[in-house]
Amino acid sequence: MSTATPPPPVSGAVADAASDVHLDTPAGRRRRKSSAGNAARAVTSPWASAIAIVLALAWTTPTVGLLVTSFRNQKDIQETGWWHALSTGFTLDNYSQVLGGAEGQPPLTDFIVNSFVIAIPAVFLPLLLASLAAYAFAWIEFPFRNALFVGVFALQIVPLQIALLPLVTMYQQIGINGTYWALWLSHSAFALPLAVFLLHNFMKEIPASLLEAARVDGAGHVRIFFQVLLPLITPALASFGIFQFLWVWNDLLVAITMLGGNAGEGSLAPLTMVLNNISGTLGNRWYLMSAAAFISIAFPVIVFLSLQRYFVRGLLAGGTKG
């Protein structure tokens, strides 16, 4: 009585060859197309480019209209649209009136200085604290490190509105409410969770061998952070610095809450509080409103354009690394 012998096992090379033959069919080639490749082809198609151009024009047209209106006098604004500006002429009187104080309004120059005094420390303070915390989370072993990092990341979903009243109460108790310190500390606290997350993810992309080589040379944590890591995380710092500057410069809620709404001459009010008052008292004077509004948006645009080469690199590092 004979027994059937089992077929010999198929080797891995044979199986791989068979699968390659199968994938070489038209259906197999279609399956090999990755979703990333499909997305790249989609966003670089002529239709996508045309849609992007249309969206860019729709986004920038109001800003261009605001800029042109700010250089026109009241009569021209009331009689013709901003697209007729070439036939009616331009003037710089609107800016001189707004900067020097128009129709009983305080001059904007003082409040521009206030905005810079508020924004610059409120950008550099969270950058310094967040970079130190991000280094600790990325490269220093300590108990509950991962749990603490998840907790810091979860703080991003907490609305800042629920923290304003407790902060005002605490600032009143320690005597700094209504001062620059209240604004600096508030903006820094609200910015730290996102800053730590972005900088931590950027630091994790740095090869560990670089830090090990620095340790072999005798460098400690302080020297590694300032001389090795800090120059390498410049794109991430610039990316978050843009976000934070735009947020602080355009903030109105925190400024009103901490300063009490006082936007008179000699106060600590930023430019946004003054524009809020001007919109009520000079709301029908578009030639002044447009000039004041464009002064307000000009500085963030300058900051963004000067740091834009770092923006995408830092943003992608924080969004793709976990």
What is the per-residue pLDDT across 133-146, written as a single tens digit (0 to 9) for each? 999 999 988 899 88
Q: Judge if 51 and 127 occupy the same domain.
A: no
Q: Judge if 66 and 114 occupy the same domain.
A: no
Return d(Cα 234, Cα 231) in angstroms, integer.
Answer: 6
As for how many domains the chain has, the answer is 2
Give me the phi and psi of 144, to 5 degrees please. 60, 30
Return d(Cα 244, Cα 251) in angstroms, integer.
Answer: 10
Return d(Cα 273, Cα 279) in angstroms, integer.
Answer: 10
* Lowest-confidence segment of 29-33, 171-175, 249-253 by average pLDDT: 29-33
204, 210 Cβ separation under 8 angstroms: no
Return d(Cα 279, Cα 285) in angstroms, integer.
Answer: 9
Q: Judge if 134 and 233 occupy the same domain.
A: yes
Q: Which residues of 209-243 are buried (b: 16+ CB within 10 A; e: fewer)?
A: eebeebeeeebebeebbeeebeeebebbbbbbbbb
Domain that holds residue 84: 39-91
What is the per-residue pLDDT across 170-223, written as a single tens digit (0 to 9) for each? 999 999 988 999 999 999 999 999 999 989 988 888 888 888 898 898 888 889
Q: Closest Cα to residue 166, out of 149, 188, 184, 182?
A: 182
Q: Judge if 275 and 238 occupy the same domain.
A: yes
Res 301 pLDDT > 60: yes
276, 290 Cβ separation under 8 angstroms: no
Q: In this predicted structure, what is the pLDDT of residue 74?
A: 80
Q: Judge if 297 and 155 occupy the same domain.
A: yes
Mean pLDDT over residues 45-56, rounded? Answer: 85
Q: Closest Cα to residue 187, out of 278, 259, 112?
A: 259
Q: Judge if 154 and 52 occupy the same domain.
A: no
Q: Judge if 197 and 69 occupy the same domain.
A: no
